[in-house]
Amino acid sequence: MVTHDEWGPEKIIQVYDAKTGMKGIVVVDNTTLGPGKGGIRMLPEVSVDEVAALARAMTWKNALADLPFGGAKSGIVADSKTLTQEKKDEIVGAFAKAIRNVCPTMYIAGPDMYMAEHEMEVFVKANGSIKSATGKPKDLCEGYSCGIPHELGSTGFGVYHATLVSLKHFGIPVKGAKIAIEGFGNVGTFAADFLSKDGAKIIATSDSKGAVYNENGLDVRELLRIKSRGGSVTESNEKKIPAESIFELDVDVLIPAARAYVINEKNAHNVRAKIIIEGANIPMTIEIEKKLHQKGVLIIPDFIANAGGVISSYVEHIGGKTEEVFPMIERKIVPNTIAVLERSKQKGMMPRDAGMEIAKERLLNAKRFSV
């Protein structure tokens, strides 16, 4: 059950369209810094509670990224795997029309689970405002604003910079650093590419088919070629290992970059990484994070490490160009990660708690100036 506190939520909207059978949810958590920003996910079991929790996470992520966005999220109750593209487009269009009154003044949408750039194009056309969503196709333009697809690799680029800052903080040279990446998708591929070019050894990675390992460093270029043609990392000549063992390798950095809750009660006690960079959302519970922190593991939480995607969204929203995305991500992620690590060290607190403290301070300051 959603509970209200000093931060929000400000608005919970549930919509239904009889013609298409569309059922949708929007939670606008906090608009102190600007309109709520957060993606749309399409899942048969998506709920108000889930959307509200994700909207709150976006409040912290946008505040810590120092963006003029509030926190919000939305969900469409449907099973994308069973829908034709035509039917899916109808449902997305009906959802966009149903929430016209809050887009883009209170809510700006974006891609999330089973919602990509095509669906964002359908959404903005049905909604009637090109500013109502980000993550649109790059050739979709109106006036000064064009789409910047999430496939650009923005999130992975942010994870890369959070990793560089963390390695430096820990006193580990990037060149030769051993890194394992769970998930070789849109986040993991880019993080692996950038880190390997800096001399880091990506010794293990995985996808839905399995995991591969090479103590001397995987051939990242070959893995990228395989993925570009729709293949799996397991099709390479690298050594195959059980997918779950990737969390227990003796590495400098572990990057969970795919699913939620992959580090849990079953494997947390076997984690040997010195640093964990949360490329995925909620790859572990806060309780597990606390236990690992107490063991001396440095953990950069999701709302800091994977903010590259929402920073890219901001560039698109203000009419920026693709080539402006990566420089802005670096300008945001690097100082924010440094600030979180410095406060964490000074106060003897978890980086997550330090980040939350900074995010809340920014919201409180914005409230003070708005009075």
- Candidates 243, 289, 232; CA nearest to 265 is 289
pLDDT class of 371 with cuts at 50, 70, 90: very low
pLDDT at 147: 74
Looking up residue 208, the CATH number of its domain turns out to be 3.40.50.720
Beta bridge partners of 108: 37
* Per-residue confidence (pLDDT) for residue 146, from 0 to 100: 73
Residues 208 and 236 in one domain: yes
Query: How much is the mean pLDDT over the chain?
Result: 94
Same domain, 202 and 344: yes
Q: Which pLDDT does position 150 carry in this prediction?
A: 64
* 73 counts as catalytic: yes
Read off the pLDDT of residues 110-119 as tens digits, 9 standing for 90 and up: 999 899 999 9
pTM, two decimals, is: 0.90
Query: Which residues span the domain enclosing 20?
Result: 11-57+69-140
> How many structural domains is the chain composed of?
2
Burial class (CB in 10 A: 0-12, 13-18, 19+), 85: exposed
Q: Which residue type does 291 have?
A: K
In this structure, which long-range contacts are made by residues 170-173, counting pairs with CB atoms below 8 Å and at least 24 apart in sequence?
170/252, 170/274, 170/275, 170/298, 172/252, 172/274, 172/275
Q: Which of 37, 61, 73, 88 is catalytic?
A: 73
Give the pLDDT confidence of 8-47 residue by residue, as tens digits.
999 999 999 999 999 999 999 999 999 999 999 999 999 9
- List, for residues 96-108, the tens digit of each pLDDT value: 999 999 999 999 9
Cα distances (angstroms) measured from residue 136 to each of 49, 194, 336: 27, 24, 27
Together in a domain, 203 and 246: yes
15 dihedral zone (left: phi>0; alpha: psi -120 to 50; beta): beta
pLDDT, average across residues 156-161: 97
Residue 370 has pLDDT above 60, yes or no: no
206 three-state secondary structure: strand
Residue 183: inside a domain? yes
Two tokens at 333? 């992620």
The two tokens of residue 67 are 């963006």
Q: Which residues contact 283 (CB under 8 A, 6 or more apart)?
A: 182, 256, 259, 260, 261, 262, 263, 302
Q: Could you tell me if 40 and 167 lie in one domain?
A: no
Give the integer Cα–Cα distance in Å for 155 and 51.
Answer: 21
Q: What is the model's pLDDT at position 369?
A: 57
Same domain for 165 and 295: yes
Asked if pLDDT for residue 175 goes beyond 60, the answer is yes
